[in-house]
Amino acid sequence: MSKLFEPIEIRGIEIKNRSWVSPMCQYSCDDGFANNWHLVHLGSRAVGGAGLVMSEAAAVEPEGRISPWDLGIWKDEHIKPLKDITKFISDQDSIPAIQLAHAGRKASTKRPWQGRGRIETKDGGWIPKGPSSIPFDEESQIPSELSSEEINEITTNFVKAAERSVEAGFKCIELHLAHGYLVHEFFSPISNIREDNHGGSLDNRTSFGVEIAKKIRQKIGKNIPIFARISVTEYHPDGWDIESSVILSKKLKQAGVDLIDCSSGGNYFDQEIELKKGYQVPLSKSIKSQAEILTGTVGLITENDHAEEILNNNEADAIFLGRELLRNPYWSLYSQEDIKAWPLQYQRSFESIGNIKYIRKND
């Protein structure tokens, strides 16, 4: 059997294949509420055969949004529209997952198609928060340094968001600890210069993220898988690196995390990344082998043969697909090359042809 389409079981949850939807911000919410765009966007990837469909980053408090148009799960009213989405995904035999997030010092920005850049408070923005009063770059706002009490409050907000996620029908929760957002900012010595018990040593800098994972596991019990997306390296000579990520992954595993979603970068404005096919796969391989935990890999993986190679080489346990699934929601079905895997409603499209490869090449 194809490794890509081999089921994987995590905490009793069987995921039908290893072709998963990576969280991708849509910047299309009002006050954090999911809407028909999200239902169709996420639902079509479930119809398209992905084994796990993950929402975009859902903010655990209003100030934790990247932009004012981000998805939210900071209040109970957010549950209902999310429940409609998770039901549809589940009905397609896919696993609905949610990514919980706080943007930290990278909050209060414009949507990408508006040119990015910060949004001032007078224009509906807010003062971002961070471990230290260090802006991301010269054009970013100076964040407000979080007090110990505020850190504890945000931890509680993550836990409450996880509870709402379960109530909304999500069967998997991912913690966004990557890409220069709040928890990653605590990890890194280039954004965290605190002198209290959340700064200084690696143990101190990772305590915030590990505590979030630990408390969520305690609250939601043993039956819901927890993933953590981390930036395995931030491409800075004095910053967060692979060795630190291995130590963190071991800590997260002990706290109840089941899989590390391996990404990179995002916390250093002048980062230099050699973008090439599967450029983050070696990061996943390092975490998988050294931390002895399940991993997912992501980044410029567009062909099913490449995905198969990664899995067969034991470099990752699952493939997260992002932009490729924006271009083609049915990538997983095309890659499986089995007409019977397609929804019954669509199977007649192959009548008189019966060759998925032919259809894909010439559609």
The predicted-structure confidence for 33-90, as pLDDT tens digits, reads as follows: 999 999 999 999 999 999 999 999 999 999 999 999 999 999 999 999 999 999 999 9
At residue 101 the predicted structure's pLDDT band, cuts being 50, 70 and 90, is very high
Least confident of 10-19, 111-120, 166-175, 223-232: 111-120
pLDDT at 358 over 70: no
Average pLDDT, the chain: 96
The predicted-structure confidence for 302-338, as pLDDT tens digits, reads as follows: 999 999 999 999 999 999 999 999 999 999 999 999 9
Single out the residue of 268, 192, 199 nearest to residue 235, CA to CA. 268
**Residues 273, 276, 278, 282: what is their CA dihedral angle, to the nearest 10 degrees?**
-50
Yes or no: say if 219 and 161 are a contact pair by the CB < 8 Å rule: no
Spatial separation of the C-alpha atoms in residues 286 and 231, rounded to whole Å: 13
Greatest alpha-carbon pair distance for the chain in Å reads 70
Q: What is the pLDDT of residue 349?
A: 87
The predicted-structure confidence for 217-235, as pLDDT tens digits, reads as follows: 999 999 999 999 999 999 9
- Residue 186: CB partners within 8 Å, gap ≥ 6? 131, 192, 198, 205, 206, 208, 209
- Report percent pLDDT > 70 for the chain: 97
Q: What is the pLDDT of residue 116?
A: 80
Q: What is the pLDDT of residue 351?
A: 78
pLDDT at 111 over 90: yes
Q: What is the pLDDT of residue 356?
A: 72
Is 27 among the residues known to form the active site? no
Q: Of these residues, 181, 235, 330, 334, which one is catalytic?
A: 181
pTM of the complete model beyond 0.85: yes
Single out the residue of 253, 251, 278 nearest to residue 264, CA to CA. 278
Please name the residue that has the structure tokens 């002048």.
Answer: 270
pLDDT at 296 over 70: yes
pLDDT at 363 over 60: no
Please name the residue that has the structure tokens 């089941």.
Answer: 258
The predicted-structure confidence for 138-159, as pLDDT tens digits, reads as follows: 999 999 999 999 999 999 999 9
Least confident of 42-46, 166-170, 274-278: 274-278
Spatial separation of the C-alpha atoms in residues 238 and 246, rounded to whole Å: 17
Spatial separation of the C-alpha atoms in residues 34 and 72, rounded to whole Å: 8
pLDDT at 362 over 60: no
At residue 350 the predicted structure's pLDDT band, cuts being 50, 70 and 90, is confident
Q: What integer is the mean pLDDT of 193-199?
A: 98
Spatial separation of the C-alpha atoms in residues 40 and 363, rounded to whole Å: 22
What sign does the CA torsion over 196, 258, 184, 238 have? positive
- Report percent pLDDT > 90 for the chain: 94
At residue 352 the predicted structure's pLDDT band, cuts being 50, 70 and 90, is low
At residue 27 the predicted structure's pLDDT band, cuts being 50, 70 and 90, is very high
